[in-house]
Amino acid sequence: MRNEWCELTFLHWAYPLSDIQRLLPGGLEVETWEGQAWVGLVPFRMHVRTIRGPYLPWISHFPETNLRTYVRGPNDEVGVWFFSLEAARLPAVLVGRIGYGVLYHWASMDIRHVRTRTHYRSHRLLGATSAGLEVMVEHGEAIEPDDVTPFEHYLTARWSLFGVRRGRLTFARAAHERWPLHRAEALAWSTSLFQPAGIEAPVGEPITLSSPGVTVDIGARVFLD
């Protein structure tokens, strides 16, 4: 698949390593920073198509949000583990669950801009547990590539993803340029996406970065065991 991930914000909180490791499938280990696990909440706008196909009206363009952490797999690759993903198009939910073994949910979602601010809203539509988010972000100045810190790189630079399909660990590459990053501040936020994933609600202000986006080629899923 070829995706454009646009209008994106990274919000991250630190967690004890053991709290996050217990939630991972066998074969994955948390990739820590200074001994802590980091959990990210990442809302953005998605444009998706096949590598050779066109973008289609309505179905190809929609908001998405993922709840994630960073892991190392049995193939020694470092990548993303998604605790959940929300998407505003049901076909995308089905493709993500069946094709890549990741836990997509259908949601009502909205992204609105007012000058230098972005308001993200999401509410899960199906399932026994209601979950969602509301975030208002103020976007700041661009960060020059040479000024991105090792920690900011750790929070954003991943080029692979893991999933589980039929009880087996899966892996796929996500090829894209490094994120063009901006300083950002979460002016207001609330979320109920953490608890259904087995994670305690986040405490304190998040580490916040934003990006206008990148173009991403998602490779085929492979099984690791």
158 phi, psi to nearest 5 deg: -135, 140
Buried b / exposed e across 200-218, counting CB within 10 Å, b at 16+?
Answer: eebeeebbbbbbebbebeb
pTM: 0.92
| Cα distances (Å, whole numbers) of residue 64 to 20, 101, 107, 132 | 23, 17, 9, 12
Instruction: Round to whole Å and give the CA distance between 108 and 18.
Output: 33
Residue 101: pLDDT band with limits 50, 70, 90: confident
Tally of CB atoms within 10 A around 26: 8
37-82 pLDDT, tens digit each: 999 999 999 987 666 666 656 566 899 999 999 999 999 999 999 9
At residue 59's C-alpha, the angle toward residues 55 and 64, to 5°, is 105
88-100 pLDDT, tens digit each: 888 778 777 877 7
The residue assigned the tokens 């959940």 is 84
Q: Does domain 2-223 have CATH number 3.30.230.10?
A: no
Which residues lie closer than 8 Å to 222 by C-beta, 6 or more apart? 170, 171, 172
Whether 24 shows a pLDDT value over 60: the answer reads yes
